[in-house]
Amino acid sequence: DLGSSFSSLRSLYVENCGLTSLDGVSQFKGLQSLFAAHNKISDLSDLSMLTSPTFSILDLRDNALDTEAQLFYCGNLPLLHLGMASNPFSEALIGSLSLSPSP
């Protein structure tokens, strides 16, 4: 599959690509950062399959995330940076979200 062909891929830039999902992103086992801003992504459930222990940057600004429940799928990721601005759900929730690296 595509992910196994790119096992050393560390950063994936798919900004402004018209994406509606992150289907298949979990196949990139060494992924450290995903830049997927300015798309039409409304579902983050594919992130729950991501197992890279060094995945630390997720940029999903300006997508179609309309509920804070989608943040649940980011909960197990060792994120240092999470970009979620300009999504339909309340920006006040992002301001109160506290993320810290795993010990």
* Cα–Cα distance for residue pair 56/74, rounded to 1 Å: 11
Q: Strand (E) positions, the chain?
A: 11-13, 33-35, 57-59, 81-83
CATH code at position 35: 3.80.10.10
Q: For 38-70, write each residue's pLDDT tens digit.
A: 999 999 999 999 988 999 999 999 999 988 888
pLDDT of residue 6: 76
Q: What residues make up the domain containing 39?
A: 2-91
**Number of structural domains, the chain?**
1
Query: What is the value of pTM for the model shown?
Result: 0.82
Q: How far apart are CA 87 and CA 60, in angstroms?
A: 8
Instruction: Provide the residue type at 75 as one letter.
Output: G
